[in-house]
Every structure is written in C-alpha cells, then in structure tokens.
Amino acid sequence: MTSNSRGLLTHSHRQVSLMFLLLVKFFIWSSFTLAATETSNLSKHPVVIIISYDGFRYDYMNKTSTPYLDQVKRNGVSVPYMRIQLSAFTYPNHQSIATGLYPEVHGIVANTMYDPLYDKELSGYVDEPGYWNFSSDSTATRSSVVPLYTSNELAGDGRYSGSMMWPAGQEGWGENNTKVTHLVNYNVSRWDWEWEVDQVMKWITHPTKPANLVYLYIEEPDYTGHRFGPEGPEIVQQIQRIDNVTGYLLTQLESLGLKDKVNLIFLSDHGMQEMKPLAIAKFMHVMDNTDNRMYHDYGRGSTFMQIRPVRENDTLRIFNAFNAAAKDNHYTVYLRDEVSKMKPHWHFAHNRRIMPIFMIPEPGYLFEGIAPRNYTWGTHGFDVDEPSMRPFFMAMGPLFKNNSVQEPFDNIDIYPLVCHILNIEPRPNNGSLERVLPLLASSATKASRMSLLLLAVLTGAVINVEAGGVINMIEIDFLKRTSILNEYEI
C-alpha cells in the first residue's frame, strides 16, 4: 500500500468516524433527554448525598442483622474502615469531610477549644461566635476555609447544596457569606429521621433549585453509644434503627424513580470505645496549680486535654512533670512542637488552637474533672490509630463500583472524590483523589458497551475494531463534558 492510498483510507475512516460521532452524540442527547423527562426535577449535574451516622463504628454491622445496609454494601463499594483525624470528635471530623483539610488547617481541632485570638474557650456545641470562622490571618473576620457545599453553590450552572443538620452547615462562608440553598440547622434535639429524609427528597427534586449535593447528619448511634456503651443490647437496637432509616431512604429514592440516578455515600465521623466504671486518668495532682499559677487546662471530664502554660518558658518543665506521671495515670502527653516528628501522620501541630501540650488517655479512661461514673458507658476522642475509633464507609450509585471492597482511606479524601464526581475544581486540600479513585466504577467501560449497542441498532453496521477506537474517543469527550471523568482519570 502506498503512502497516498493509506492517506485516502485514513480520510475515508475519518468520514465514517464523523458519522459514528454524530450518531453517538444523538443517542447520548436523546437518552439524557429521556432521563430528564422521567425525573424532570433532578439536577442536570451528578447528584450526591452524603449521609453521616454519628459514631457508627466500623464493625457495627457485625452486631446484628442489617438488611438495608447489607444491600448498600452488596450493590456498592465499601472499605473495612475509614481513617479519621485527630481529635476524634464530631466537629473536627465533619469539618474535615466537608473541606478535605486536616483540623490543623481548618481550625476545628476539638469540639471545644481555647482560641488565643479571642482569648476564650470556644464551643461548637453552642455555635460560639468565631468557632467555625477560623483563619490563619488573625485579623480576618471571615474564614478562608470553604466547605464543598459552599463551593458547589459558588460553581453555579444550576448547582444547589443542601445541609440537613450537618455540623457547621448553617454557617455562611467566603467573602460573600455564601450559604447553602436548602438548610435545616444543626439541632440534635430533632429526632424525626424520616422527616429529614423526606426533606432531602424534596431538595433533590425541587422544581426550580434541585440540589445536586446534600449533606445529611443523623445523631445516632453516637448518642446511645455514649449512654450505654458500644457493646450492649441498646446499641444493637440503634443499629437496627439506622438500618431502617437507610431502608426508608432507599425506598423513597426508588418510589421517585431515582435509585439508579443518585450517588449515596454512607459514613461516620468516628467510632466508640467502651468505658469501664471509675476508670479515671488523673493529672491534677502532678503539680501545684493553685489559681492556675502554672497552666490553664481545657478538657476536664473528656478524652482530650489541652494544657496552656502561663509562661512559655515553663512549657518543657510542665511537659516533663506530666510525662513522668503519664504511664501510672493512663495517658500519653505530647509536646505540640514535637508531634510532627513523633506522629507525623497526625498533622496536628500548626494551629493557634492547638496548645503547647496536649494529652490523650488510654482507651477506656477519662480525664478527671467530672463525677466518676459507676456504670459502663462509651465515648471517643482517643488516639485515632486505635481500632475502636474507626468509622465505617460505604457508597452506592451509578458512579460507584458494585459489590466491591477497597482499601481504607482518609476521610479528607472524600472532598476530592466528590469534587471529581461533581466536576468542581477542588480548592487546595489535604486529601488524595488517587486513594479513592478505586471506589469509582469504570464509567467509560459501561458507556462503551452502551454506545456500541446503540450504533449497531442505529446503523445496522458491523462495527470493526477501529470504529470501536473512535467511539472510545467520543466517549471520553462526552464523559469529560458530563463531569464523569476528568483529565486525571484519563
């Protein structure tokens, strides 16, 4: 074959390729129009609902029958557990999930913490002014940290976010104080989970502002885990309740014809540790601190203790004193400026809200400061490397793998994952898309089969290998435009 004839052949193939391209595009357009007619109010963007069951430990599904959660696991992708951020509490970890940032970066290092900028202890429980609006710029009045539900709103083109009781979901963020379109404030006294699910269904099918990203928070089984501990019959009852609300969500989606169109991410913020009666980590006797002459302490009666020396020069002396007493009193002491060397994977040092000394008790022990409990109960906030602190993670939907178990990853990776799904440019973050890409189905492969089938129907043509190659190129173009892929995946 001469080079000229090869050129003609290539030209002829281009014409065929163009015809295929037009046909495929017609099919894709018509199938999407059809889908849009069936569920007219669903967002034109991929839809993601992130559901957090507070304190749902990685192994809770082994404790009882969970048919609906099993269904999610079977039809979706799961991991043995998910890694979380220090400190192992609700607000730091929900904020890390929403921002993809370590607590030392987003500034929510504990549920309550001292902030030298305000010279006071701030509490997320009462939504203290200044608690969420952390900025490394001490003169800034508004946080430069932007959760994904806000970035989704800012991305425009018909994107709307919902926050159902998600911690900090009620906050405005960024220069324009942007808030989510659909909001129910964080309020742990609300217990009607089916009502919450009903609202979320209304948000994603809203006639004019359908949400394509919703964060849904449910306060159990954390509440019961605290009250009765993670090993008793009470927690089993709550796991079954959680399974039932999962079933309710799946049923509602199915009745709306959305079950195969919405991507669901089920996760938790931390695990739960059984607490034995009267197991107390004592620290107050270590040195005379009358009238706070040596230090201020934050975290009495909890599992995370921050120590702020009155005089910076005393830091090492105070550390050494606590360190000498630590083993006998069931805790470990950390010098903030040494943490980067001792526990580099914690990323817990560079923030004004992390005090020069902090202490974490052994699992099962609580720092003194409240009346000792003479019964078994449960809590969290321990070393994040402890298995009891691990939460669960599962995901199901058109973009996730089926019946697949993958390697554990970090909760900060969910941010780049969801940005990827929604085709939103991620802000600088600490997560890794690479670690979570294995959760996603090979959409290109699925679409390839669909396109080949359609071409055969439309043209009656015998499609050769080369035409298949063209289709793959077209698919990639299509998938990029429809947010399913980006350059990275290709």
Residue ranges that bind Zn ion, judged by CB under 5 A: 54-55, 90, 222, 269
Compute the least distance from the CB of residue 94 to Zn ion, in Å: 8
Closer of 54 and 243 to Zn ion (Cβ): 54
Compute the least distance from the CB of residue 186 to Zn ion, in Å: 12
Number of neighbouring beta carbons within 10 Å of residue 5 = 9
Query: Cα angle vertex 185, ends 98, 258, to 5°?
Result: 65
Q: Which of 384, 308, 298 is nearest to 347 (CA)?
A: 384
Closer of 54 and 171 to Zn ion (Cβ): 54
Closer of 76 and 378 to Zn ion (Cβ): 378
The DSSP call for residue 463 is P
Helices (H), 256-295: none
Compute the least distance from the CB of residue 167 to Zn ion, in Å: 9
Closer of 89 and 134 to Zn ion (Cβ): 89
- How remote is the C-alpha of 56 from its chain's centroid? 13
Compute the least distance from the CB of residue 126 to Zn ion, in Å: 17
Compute the least distance from the CB of residue 213 to Zn ion, in Å: 21
- How remote is the C-alpha of 3 from its chain's centroid? 57
Q: Which of 69, 378, 439, 447 is nearest to 243 (CA)?
A: 69
- How remote is the C-alpha of 443 from its chain's centroid? 23
Compute the least distance from the CB of residue 164 to Zn ion, in Å: 16
Minimal CB distance residue for Zn ion: 90
Ordered DSSP codes for 79-148: -S--B--SS-SHHHHHHHHHH---HHHHS--SSEEEETTTTEEEETTTT-TTSS---SSTT-SS-S---H
Closer of 221 and 397 to Zn ion (Cβ): 221
Q: What are phi and psi of 166, to 5 degrees?
A: -65, 130
Closer of 58 and 400 to Zn ion (Cβ): 58
Compute the least distance from the CB of residue 222 to Zn ion, in Å: 5
From first CA to last CA, the distance across the chain in angstroms is 34
Closer of 170 and 483 to Zn ion (Cβ): 170
Q: Which of 448, 435, 437, 457 is nearest to 479 (CA)?
A: 448
